[in-house]
Amino acid sequence: MSEELSEPPSQPGRVPGWWRDAVIYQVYVRSFADSDGDGIGDLAGIRQRLPHLRELGVDAVWITPFYLSPMADGGYDVADYRDVDPMFGSLADVDALLADAHDLGLRVIVDIVPNHTSSAHPWFVSALADGPGSLARDRYLFRSGRGAAGELPPNDWQSVFGGSAWTRVAGPDGRPGEWHLHLFAPEQPDLNWTNQEVRDEFLDILKFWLDRGVDGFRVDVAHGMVKDPQFADTGRDPQSKLLGVEPLPYFDQDDVHEIYRDWRKVLDSYPGERIAVAEAWVPGPERLAAYVRPDELHQAFNFEYLKTDWDAASLREVIDGSLAATAAVEAPTTWVLSNHDVIRHVTRYGGGATGLRRARAALLLTLALPGSAYLYQGEELGLPEVADLPESVLQDPVWARSGHTERGRDGCRVPIPWSGPEPPYGFGPGGSWLPMPTSWRSLTVEAQRDDPDSMLSLYRAVLRARRAHDALGDGGMRWLPSPDDALVFAREPGFVCAVNLSGAPVDLPDYGDLLCASDPIWRDGGGNLPGGSVLPPDAAAWFAR
């Protein structure tokens, strides 16, 4: 194995502000590694594959929900927040995973889903049984319908997955009754966060996992828990899509921040800097920065960066805007290019050889920027979106809720290819819950591990260089002069990152020794500037003096 393994593991809990520049790897549990042959990834599978993450050189891992769930939305519909779905393992598996990860110097962040429960959660079951006006119903958002017989939804709010955000339920007498709000699938009823019991329950759930030793939480739909109490129509159609950032009465309401002030007190009451990262799709970097004020959450995914095209001027604007907004609240910026909800960035950047080249360059850009970064499983292998999954295998609720017009997010959730010449490529001893392309034999970890030109080797080299250089991670940066379609910036001490986003080579002056490059670059007089180098199209390089 590699030299990195001989470095002493960093000690979880002992590095102040570890999260300000951590590189955190997202594991989508269903698709990472399957230990028992049912074709679905699980906790024991993650545990077996931890050495891959250690070799890669990340600081922490975020694991998507593994709680008891009917899986109406891949586990983001939680029926018991304190137990593990048997499909994924047991609480003992969580403990073992935490212990192994910590031994390897990896921190572990788990998902928390506070905006909604599963409709199979005992609270919702009681809410249906107890009927209108009951204490049980007050934990959710039940309303009477409009129309003479209450046959119309209470307002025009739409589900992020398509269709109305309201579903009518039968009363305890079996007749059509009230409607309940679900910003996502009907099987994901929204909780009422003005109910104190709901607030107390989640503080207790946080403590349950903190006591078990988790290092933090990724907060699902962190912008959604508080709704405008008027419940007024938006007057708009269509409204928000999953990745939308338009102002809406059910997202990004100011009072949501009170919740995070309470959560922060709990996190701070534990040793070792336990953190929380917000998944918040909000209008603009200033609104996002509010979630990472000093007494709220630690990080918030920078989705504007993720959504920006491969274009120098647009990226520069987003980088400047993000850094200014987070600096104003003294938080780091949290860069991200892919996750389990978006089209993989190799494909977003153009696919094929172009997409791969840009994704390689984007890695150098992202990991040179000040702050922390999240990687999504499989991006280190250069996996593309699988756009041609047969319709019969699609599982994302978006597919059904959109009336089969939107395929949804399964294309970025295809299991990870580990080894071997054919599907399921070492994913597990059985099959895989989504089919894996036959073209992925050259993308397995095994196929890439010893190839110095592979995406995996690039990720490992760049992460190693990032760890070794004092200028990287938290801190400042300043732009250097460059052609319009390049981005060049310096960080102190003595570091320069140059990215060419154009279709033509770019001449660079002498910035010092080459630390790493996304593609071979021409050095020493190859270009027109003395002692300089030439950056090919869609390539990036790091230099140091």
Active-site residue set: 220, 279
Rounded Cα distance between 250 and 247, Å, is 9
> Considering the complex, what minimum distance in angstroms separates the CB of residue 258 from ligand GLC?
21
> Considering the complex, what minimum distance in angstroms separates the CB of residue 242 from ligand GLC?
6
- Reduced to 3 states, what is the DSSP secondary structure of residue 135? coil
Beta strand 23-27 with 372-376 is parallel
> Considering the complex, what minimum distance in angstroms separates the CB of residue 320 from ligand GLC?
27
Beta strand 216-219 with 275-278 is parallel
> Considering the complex, what minimum distance in angstroms separates the CB of residue 112 from ligand GLC?
11
E-assigned strand segments in 125-256: 142-143, 166-170, 176-181, 216-219
Residue whose CB is less far from ligand GLC, 68 or 445: 68
* Residue among 332, 265, 254 at smallest CA distance from 290: 254
- Reduced to 3 states, what is the DSSP secondary structure of residue 521? coil
3-state helix, strand, coil in the chain (%, to 5): 30, 20, 50
> Considering the complex, what minimum distance in angstroms separates the CB of residue 221 from ligand GLC?
5
Residue whose CB is less far from ligand GLC, 209 or 511: 209
Q: Record the tokens describing residue 2, joined without a space.
A: 């590699």
> Considering the complex, what minimum distance in angstroms separates the CB of residue 360 from ligand GLC?
26
Give, in order, the Cα–Cα distances in Å from 293 to each of 73, 191, 201, 226, 328. 31, 25, 24, 18, 9
Residue whose CB is less far from ligand GLC, 251 or 542: 251
Output DSSP code: residue 152.
B
Rounded Cα distance between 306 and 200, Å, is 34
Residue whose CB is less far from ligand GLC, 58 or 280: 280
Residues with Cβ within 8 Å of residue 497, at least 6 apart in sequence: 364, 365, 368, 487, 488, 489, 491, 540, 541, 542, 543
Residue whose CB is less far from ligand GLC, 62 or 425: 62
Residue whose CB is less far from ligand GLC, 70 or 132: 70
> Considering the complex, what minimum distance in angstroms separates the CB of residue 220 from ligand GLC?
5
Classify residue 162 as left (phi > 0), alpha (psi -120 to 50) or beta. Answer: left
Residues that bind ligand GLC (CB under 6 A): 73, 76, 113, 184, 220-221, 279, 340-341
Residue whose CB is less far from ligand GLC, 161 or 440: 161
Burial of 467 (0-12, 13-18, 19+ CB in 10 A): middle
CB 297 within 8 A of CB 219: yes
Residue whose CB is less far from ligand GLC, 30 or 464: 30
CB 350 within 8 A of CB 358: yes
CB 541 within 8 A of CB 482: no
Beta strand 486-491 with 478-479 is antiparallel
> Considering the complex, what minimum distance in angstroms separates the CB of residue 341 from ligand GLC?
5
Give, in order, the Cα–Cα distances in Å from 372 to each of 59, 198, 211, 220, 530. 10, 31, 25, 19, 35
Output DSSP code: residue 284.
S
Residue nearest to ligand GLC (CB): 76
